[in-house]
């Protein structure tokens, strides 16, 4: 459309130039008129030649440019995606004859939903998500209950991990895990109203054993790392996905380690604060808690609570989900 506009504009301009030339000739200024006319003709042919070259280039390279656009668009939608026939990335989605690998479960599932395909783990060794899967009405797993008290007043995360690993067939106790989990040794400091402390995304923060000393907890990354030591090539971090994925894995017979809070309902903002840490600011609440999800039905979520020492404790599903989402949708499971 733009090219057509320029061509028409140029024709109009040329007509005006010829008209001006005729007037110059009538006035006897022939030399100047011919110079102007020659310049305009040369400019016209140069412009048309340029358009012809552009048209030929577009014709010859049209397919490659479209393919390039598709690749850029695809990568912008799935930035960690690598397309190959033998991807080494952990999560795999098959699309016709193409294998697409993803770094994270979340990205793989998003793409699989778009094309109605399954997600595989570690070169097709496990199907970890089926696009056509139907959840059962209810399920309840028999995972072992382990109390974090009295030894680990802040050890809910490693105690829930101990239940997780014991269910998977690994005989390890909470005290060993408490010793092995990665730590952030940043000391507690407070200047005015601002706290400078460790980052739970990097490791356990503070004292796990003594409630009288400063301390907090640990988030999904270091827990997944420790779980992988005991279950190599079997642990899946499903953090950031919808709660339906927790229900999916529980319905497949695998409990899910999660981060929530001790009320299992959405907290008011005044119960949160922001710390400065060596790796950046982090928003925390001292109500943070970790449990092992073991079941569900239409109304409730069931879980083993290491603090209350209750097996298959139940909370209304809506409240449980809101609390889990508020804490960053952190969740880890495993494959059989």
95 or 7, greater pLDDT: 95
Q: What is the pLDDT of residue 75?
A: 38
Model pLDDT for residues 99-158, shown as the tens digit of each residue? 999 999 999 999 999 999 999 999 777 999 999 999 999 999 999 999 999 999 999 999
| Higher-scoring residue by pLDDT: 83, 169 | 169
In terms of phi and psi (left: phi > 0; alpha: psi -120 to 50; beta: otherwise), the region of 218 is beta
Q: Are strands 331-334 and 288-296 parallel, antiparallel or unpaired?
A: unpaired
pLDDT value at residue 212: 98
pLDDT at 2: 45
- Alpha helices in the chain, H assignment, sequence order: 2-26, 30-77, 105-115, 156-167, 174-180, 220-230, 243-251, 317-326
pTM of the model: 0.75
Q: Which residues contact 95 (CB under 8 A, 6 or more apart)?
A: 115, 117
Q: Give domain 139-334's CATH number out of 3.90.220.20, 3.90.70.10, 2.40.50.100, 3.30.420.40.
A: 3.90.70.10
Confidence check: pLDDT of 207 > 90: yes
How many whole angstroms separate alpha carbon 89 and alpha carbon 74?
17
User: pLDDT at position 100, please?
Assistant: 94
**Residue 33: Cβ within 10 Å count:** 19
| Cα radius of gyration (the chain) | 32
Q: What is the pLDDT of residue 123?
A: 77
Is residue 224 pLDDT above 50, yes or no?
yes
Quickly count: other Cβ atoms within 10 Å of residue 155's Cβ.
Answer: 27
Question: DSSP 3-state assignment of 50?
Answer: helix
What is the mean pLDDT of the segment spanning 328-332?
98
């Amino acid at each position: 459309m733009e090219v057509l506009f320029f061509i028409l504009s140029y024709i109009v301009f040329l007509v005006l130039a010829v008209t001006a030339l005729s007037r110059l000739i009538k006035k006897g200024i022939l030399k100047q008129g011919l110079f102007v006319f020659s310049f305009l003709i040369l400019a016209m042919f140069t412009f048309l030649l340029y358009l012809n070259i552009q048209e030929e280039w577009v014709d010859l390279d049209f397919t490659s440019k479209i393919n390039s656009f598709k690749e850029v668009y695809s990568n912008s939608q799935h930035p960690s995606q690598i397309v190959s026939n033998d991807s080494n990335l952990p999560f795999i989605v098959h699309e016709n004859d193409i294998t697409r690998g993803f770094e994270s479960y979340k990205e793989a599932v998003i793409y699989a939903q778009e094309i109605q395909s399954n997600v595989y783990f570690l070169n097709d060794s496990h199907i970890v998500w089926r696009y056509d899967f139907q959840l059962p009405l209810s399920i309840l797993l028999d995972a072992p209950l382990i109390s974090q008290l009295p030894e680990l007043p802040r050890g809910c995360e490693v105690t829930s991990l101990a239940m997780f690993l014991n269910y998977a067939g690994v005989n390890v106790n909470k005290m060993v895990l408490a010793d092995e989990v990665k730590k952030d040794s940043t000391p507690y400091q407070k200047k005015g109203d601002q706290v400078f402390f460790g980052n739970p995304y990097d490791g356990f923060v503070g004292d796990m054993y003594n409630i009288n000393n400063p301390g907090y907890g640990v988030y999904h990354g270091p827990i997944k790392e420790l779980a992988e030591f005991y279950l190599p090539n079997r642990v899946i971090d499903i953090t950031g996905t919808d709660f339906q994925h927790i229900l999916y894995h529980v319905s497949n017979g695998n409990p899910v380690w999660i981060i929530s809070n001790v009320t299992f309902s959405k907290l008011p903002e005044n119960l949160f604060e922001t710390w400065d840490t060596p790796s950046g600011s982090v928003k925390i609440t001292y109500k943070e808690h970790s449990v092992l999800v073991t079941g569900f039905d239409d109304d409730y979520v069931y879980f083993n609570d290491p603090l209350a020492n209750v097996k298959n404790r139940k909370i209304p599903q809506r409240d449980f989900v809101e609390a889990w989402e508020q804490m960053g949708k952190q969740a880890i499971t495993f494959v059989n």
